[in-house]
Amino acid sequence: MIVGASGFGKEVAWLCKRLGRTVLGFLDDNPKLKDGSFYELPVLGSTSDWHQYEECEFVVAIGAPRVRKKIVESMRKLGKPQFATLIDPSAQIDCDVTVIGEGTVICSGAVCTADVKIGTHVVINKLCSIGHDVNICDYVTLAPMVMLGGHVEVQSGVEVGASAAVRQGCTLSVGSMIGMGSVVLKDTQVNEVVLGNPAKHYKWTEDFYA
């Protein structure tokens, strides 16, 4: 069951096809989608209706980390949903040593090298490159073609825009956001938005834990 009838929801549905996994349908809180269909699959209710499908595994297909976190937490208040971990067959991962948390989605062409740790409900998008000894915490989103050098620490709720590159050894602090195409050469601060090459402070965003 996919939570979120959105663009990324379509990509998760496509990934399920590639994995040979049956998708029962979508859950979404948009009242305009109620009892309708999306991507040729039924919309079977809102997020709070998940307990009617307790036999299913769920994937929260929402790109924004803050929204994804709130949806997971709201579901857990109603019970103990099972969350699927989906890894595209074309992704290159050393599964013997890589730790991957529940609810995480790793898309086509992603490469994770040696001793990588990936938390829960993480989105690693198409063609991302993740170097050795990288630690990715919960609710992180990496947009397509992100490059993380070795020993990068990506703390909870970080969002990295498409084609951004992060220098080895940097720490992306909780809730920070990296603009598309940016080159990060130093640590970010909590809830900081940085842009450019080299990436510089742009503004502050809302507290990830608010």
Residues taking part in catalysis: 132
DSSP one-letter string for the chain? -EE--SHHHHHHHHHHHHHTPPP--EE---GGGTT-EETTEEB---GGGGGGGTTSEEEE--S-HHHHHHHHHHHHTTS--EE--EE-TT-EE-TTT-EE-TT-EE-TT-EE-TT-EE-SS-EE-TT-EE-TT-EE-TT-EE-TT-EE-TT-EE-TT-EE-TT-EE-TT-EE-TT-EE-TT-EE-SPPPTTEEEETTTTEEEEE---TT-
